Amino acid sequence: MTEALLAALFVFVLASFIGFEVINKVPPTLHTPLMSGSNAISGIAVLGAIVASGARETSVSVILGLIAVVLATVNVVGGFLVTDRMLLMFKKKEIKA
Amino acid sequence: MSDFLPTGIQLTYLVAASLFIFGLKKLGSPATARNGNVIAAVGMLLAIVATMLDQHVLNYEMILLGLAIGSGIGAIAAYKVQMTEMPQMVGLLNGLGGAASALVAVAEFWRLLDSGAPVPLDVNISMLLDVLIGGVTFTGSFLAFAKLQGLISGSPITFPLQQQFNLVLLAAYVTGSIYLIMTPDSLPIFLGVVAVSLVLGVMFVIPIGGGDMPVVISLLNSLSGIAAAAAGFVVMNNMLIIAGALVGASGIILTEIMCKAMNRSLFSVLFSAFGTAGGAGGAAGGAAIDQTVRSIDPEEGAMMLGYARSVVIVPGYGMAVAQAQHSVRELSDQLERMGVDVKYAIHPVAGRMPGHMNVLLAEANVPYTQLYDMDDINPQFEQADVALVIGANDVVNPAARSDTNSPIYGMPILEVDRAKQTIVIKRGMSTGFAGVDNELFYKDKTTMLFGSAKDMVSKLVSEVKQL
């Protein structure tokens, strides 16, 4: 089990570095969409929620898992859609009226 | 052959993680950002579908129902929200993500308890961290939402022995955790730890003022990612760990940018309500008060703008509150038609969250090529004939540069006082968030247009049209 933990730690730290590198150069104009977009990605907890509610039974853990599925999906769908809505507004030059 | 499916799921995760990174990279440029967001969304869809194929996932109907309900709520919220309410929206979504991560840990604890299987130490520690970070993100975000929405007062809330109370909470969390590591099957203690984590989230945001919300929202954004990563450690899922780490990193970068823009350390934002050191306001700029300001009417203002060669517009949150961004866009269109070069200068904390002002202007159809960041525009103010300040105050206060006694000394500002002339649209002479007088208003080169941003800008538009 410790081996799995170590591997997971490696993944976590290296992914953090990738995150820093990729996001460091984002211009301020895009900070809000970046935040709402990355916010949607943090809804990845939905995967854990699906696994937690996977058993075909009515137990406390499955019910909690299903609640988590709903909450995380709101996070994912709301986050991506609102980001798209914002980015749709960013235009280079308006079409000449 | 039996591990064909699990391998396929893992490989799909690898693709999804790559799509996240690729999508985030594309989010870094306005031209490709929309694609980037779609790419990340596709990655998410792939990851969800792959997880549904897991052999342990049998409860399809209920899970699909949950996904459908969540999607419906999310979609409605995303299309209903006003752009001015974007910080609240992001705050709420952060909170939901944090809650979901914490729930994963609680559900896993319950499952292990029911199965009677021994809890491995590393899973146990991951669960405790997940509950703490997810719980703090959950309640902290909802409190930030309430403050931004005006449901509760935006000013810092403190009470006697608050710090001691926080220390007791922290000690309770640590004690409970140690107890659980030794006796992992104690449900009451586990629930106690959950409760303490939730209260800690409230205590974390309650002493922070409304003006510091950009920092808090960024930090909670980061925490929601770290909570997801912690949930990944609980269920040993690389996808959660990678995605969580990416979000954690992005949130930390934004937090740092916001702190720098306000010239405050993260520590002072989080704890300034306690240390009464500084006592902002005080004797700040007391000498300047007896000076006079020069007030003009819209007609004069329109003349100055219309006959200028270059104008820099400095929008502040006051403009957004007055919903004047569309009128401002009209004004700049009209000026451009007359051959005036118009630029917008955006201070990093002009809105209520990082990049908020840019979104508000984009909504009003201002092309993003006209928006300039502080570092790019500051050297250009000297060439500008007129700087038009609309509803901004502290971010254009020259005292930040010169007056070492001022509470905002050292904060990076937009140097509008270097322009040949400055017009300030403002309701009255009240002070900004920092509660300090602004010597800009008393300068010879500065003229004031008193009135609401929306009224004044509309009047400027019609006056400019008549030139």
What is the per-residue burial (b if ≥16 Cβ within 10 Å, else e) of B298-314? beebbebbbebebbbbb
- Residue B398, min C-alpha distance to chain A (Å): 23
| Of B70, B81, B246, Cβ closest to residue A69 | B70
Please judge whether B103 and A81 are an interchain contact, meaning their C-beta atoms are less than 8 angstroms apart.
no
For the residues A71-85, what does the mean pLDDT come to? 96
Q: Quote the Cα angle for B18-B92-B166, to 5°.
A: 105
Contact in structure between B246 and A19 (CB atoms under 8 Å)? yes
A18: nearest CA partner in chain B: B246
B394 is annotated as an active-site residue: yes
**Interface residue B21 vs chain A (CB under 8 A):** yes
Please judge whether A51 and B235 are an interchain contact, meaning their C-beta atoms are less than 8 angstroms apart.
yes
Residue B158 pLDDT: 83
- Residue B236, min C-alpha distance to chain A (Å): 8
Tokens in use for B150? 């005006």
Helix (H) or strand (E) run with residue A92 in it: none
Tokens in use for B363? 């909504």
Residue B320 pLDDT: 85
Active-site position among B394, B403, B417, B437: B394
Span A55-76, pLDDT tens digits: 888 889 999 999 999 999 999 9
Contact in structure between B255 and B219 (CB atoms under 8 Å)? yes
pLDDT in tens, chain B (467 residues): 467 888 999 999 999 999 999 999 999 998 999 999 999 999 999 999 999 998 888 888 999 999 999 999 999 999 999 998 999 999 999 999 999 999 999 999 999 988 888 888 888 999 999 999 999 999 999 999 999 888 888 788 888 888 889 999 999 999 999 999 998 888 999 999 999 999 999 999 998 887 788 899 999 999 999 999 999 999 999 999 999 999 999 999 999 988 888 888 888 888 776 544 333 433 344 444 557 888 899 999 999 999 999 999 999 888 888 889 999 999 999 999 999 999 999 998 888 888 899 999 999 999 999 999 999 999 999 999 999 999 888 889 998 888 888 888 888 999 999 999 999 998 877 777 777 788 899 888 999 999 888 999 999 999 999 88
Residue B119 pLDDT: 85
Residue A97 pLDDT: 43
Whole-number Å distance between alpha carbons of B312 and B322: 20
Restricting to A residues 42-71, those with a Cβ less than 8 Å away from any Cβ of B are: 42-56, 59-62, 64-71
Tokens in use for B453? 């941003």
Q: Quote the Cα angle for B375-B380-B384, to 5°.
A: 140
Whole-number Å distance between alpha carbons of B152 and B61: 40
Residue B278 pLDDT: 38
- What does the CA dihedral B22, B27, B30, B33 come to, rounded to 10 degrees? 70
pTM to 2 decimal places: 0.88
Residue B97 pLDDT: 95
Interface test with A, best of B51, B81, B104 (most A CBs within 10 A): B104
Helix (H) or strand (E) run with residue B21 in it: helix B4-26
Chain A residues inside the 8 Å CB shell of B12: none
Residue A93 pLDDT: 63
Please judge whether B242 and A89 are an interchain contact, meaning their C-beta atoms are less than 8 angstroms apart.
no
Inter-CA distances, B98 with B173, B210, B259, B467, Å: 18, 22, 23, 56
Q: Locate all alpha helices (DSSP H) within chain A, ordered by sequence.
A: 2-23, 31-42, 45-52, 60-89
Nearest to B44 by CA among A13, A52, A81, A19: A81
Please judge whether B78 and A78 are an interchain contact, meaning their C-beta atoms are less than 8 angstroms apart.
yes
